Structure 1
Amino acid sequence: MTKPVLEVRSAHKRFGAVHALKGIGLMAYRGEVLALLGDNGAGKSTLIKCVSGVHELDEGDILIDGDKVLIHNPAAARSAGIETVYQDLALFDNLTPAENFYCGRELSFPRWLPRCARFLATRQMDSEAAAVIDRLKVKLPGFDAQVALMSGGQRQAIAVARAAVFARKVVILDEPTAALGLRESRKVLNLIAQLRDEGNAVILITHNMEHVVELADRAVVLRQGHKVGEIEKPNRSNQQDLVAMIVGAE
């Protein structure tokens, strides 16, 4: 493989007496889906929150394209090219898809004026957001409709598309098909495959082994804060090995 776009080295994180991450290492490459697996409390969410800037590592390094970066808040993670879609999606129900895309990152003009005195580039934001929605083949009831009026699958697709707009390196998806029906889950899985095919490194946190077998190019298993195993090209023949690592029966 080529140089990893994201590398985590010897990651440690403590919350008081709880040692949540115990020297975990992780690598993610462009054009692949990396499944991050483990039971509840294994350290998956803590690791992802450290990479995405919600928490800061106590020890260890995060490298982007081989260079060490300091990720001490979500803005630093976004500046490094990392976008994360959490389970709660973090969408504003009373805003349109385009307004959700650019909330906190609004485009404005003219640029020679101080930011507080500029006008919002509403047409440009609508056009660029619509282009991404169209590229990802997401069907919405109306591009000017509020997100609250959309289905769970459409809302999930908007969150994933928003990440695709701004992610230059890594897209992290935390249980992206949770609480979705079969048809809506299929649309989200297709989006994930498309993100990978476009050259993104995609980290997928999921408990659904069928989705791991279908999508993942590699799978890393965490248990009790340790990395306990890694399998290339998960498939039905090694699925039980993954399950054994997750539950500690290997």
Structure 2
Amino acid sequence: MLALRGVSKRFGAVQALTDVELEIHPGEVVALVGDNGAGKSTLVKSIAGVSPADEGTIEWDGRAVQINRPHDAQQLGIATVYQDLALCDNLDVVGNLFLGSELLRGPLLDEVEMERRALELLSTLSIRIPSVRIPVASLSGGQRQTVAIARSLLGEPKVVILDEPTAALGVEQTAQVLDLVERLRERGLGVILISHNMAEVKAVSDRVAVLRLGRNNGVFTVADTSQEEIISAITGATDNAVTRRTTRTTEVAK
């Protein structure tokens, strides 16, 4: 569905990305992981059109496309939910969902139809909100996150990028967001999940793409890969406590 081929990005003298490759398939959650400064945010911004790549090709449904601004990504069917969520605390849930894409009936806002669609969308995603007419400021962190994700789906995207969706959330709120990620996969969407939490990555991801110093450092199938292998790829360690212990155990057995 979405493929990056040899994507590179430079900021002055800093080479942020170098020949990065990434593929996203329908109905698949791909976790994008890496240490701070690995290039995750830069890669996401290149896909989202916020900071276009300098070199390389982005393919959509097998054809090369140009993503030079956020509108280009949205037109293709790429939605991005950033860590700050960009919600308006003073507006209710309906107002946030349709902000910038309000429905009109003549010269007036069609509040009835927007509320109906909001309820329908939240219902299909099994999102529990006390009321779609309460200010977003009164919602919990997990509920705010799910509203932001729901808003990204109004344009019926095919790929959704989630930037640290569970950061600073409690246990129950995190579970709600992870459940929603799985429902996105069930709907046939491709999901790029940026996270530092390996337990969450292992819980909902199909594959893990590791960035290190702006370069690919492995793509792993979650079902066949240990958490230690992924962490080793993130840190660049080829020899760690786990591998040393395994080697020592093997030598003793011999």
Alignment TM-score, normalising by the size of structure 2: 0.90
* Distance in 1 of aligned mates of 2:14 and 2:131: 47
| Equivalences, count | 238
Match of 1:233 in 2: 222
Q: Deviations over 1:149-196 (max 9, x none)?
A: 111111011011112222421000011000000000000000000000
Letter of the structure 1 residue corresponding to residue 222 of structure 2? K
Q: Does 1:58 align with 2:54?
A: yes
Hey, what's the Cα distance between the residues in 2 that align with 1:109 and 1:186?
A: 38
Does structure 1 residue 9 correspond to structure 2 residue 16? no
Aligned to 1:119: 108
Q: Is the partner of 1:165 in helix, strand or coil?
A: coil
State the distance in 1 between where 2:153 and 2:139 align.
Answer: 20
| C-alpha distance in structure 2 between counterparts of 1:150 and 1:94, whole Å | 12
- Opposite residue 94 of structure 1, the aligned amino acid is N
How much has 1:40 moved relative to structure 2? 0.4
Aligned equivalent of 1:193, options 143, 157, 182: 182
Q: 2:103, 2:59 → 1: CA distance?
A: 29
2:28 counterpart letter in structure 1: E
1:36 aligned residue (17, 32, 35) = 32
**Equivalence for 1:96:** 92
Q: Classify the secondary structure of the residue corresponding to 1:166.
A: coil
Q: TM-score, normalised by structure 1?
A: 0.92
In structure 2, C-alpha distance between the alignment counterparts of 1:125 and 1:69, rounded to whole Å: 33
The residue aligned with 1:183 is 172
Which SS does the other structure have where 2:154 is aligned? Answer: helix
CA contact (8 A) 1:82 1:167 kept: no
Unaligned runs of 5+ residues in structure 1 are: 111-117
Gaps of 5+ in 2: 239-254
Counterpart-to-counterpart distance in 2, 1:108 and 1:65 = 33
1:234 shift after superposition: 4.4
Name 2:159's counterpart in structure 1: 170
Measure, in 1, the Cα distance between the counterparts of 2:160 and 2:191: 5
1:79 corresponding residue in structure 2:
75
Q: What is the one-letter code of the residue matched to 2:226? A: N
Q: Secondary structure at the match of 1:63?
A: strand
Which of the pair has more CA radius of gyration? 2
SS of structure 1 residue aligned to 2:130: coil
Match of 1:207 among 186, 196, 217: 196
What residue is the counterpart of 1:113 in the other structure?
none
Distance in 2, matches of 1:71 and 1:102, equals: 24
1:86-117 Cα offsets, whole Å, 9 max, x none, are 1100111111112111111122245xxxxxxx
Tell me which stretches of 4 or more aligned residues in structure 1 moved more than 4 Å: none
CA–CA distance in structure 2, aligned partners of residues 71 and 97 of structure 1 = 30
Could you tell me how far 1:119 is from its partner in structure 2? 2.7
Identity of aligned residues (%): 46
The CA distance in 2 between the partners of 1:243 and 1:69, in whole Å, is 33
For residues 199 and 44 of structure 2, the distance between their equivalents in structure 1, rounded to whole angstroms, comes to 22
SS of 1:92's partner is coil
Aligned residues: CA RMSD: 1.2
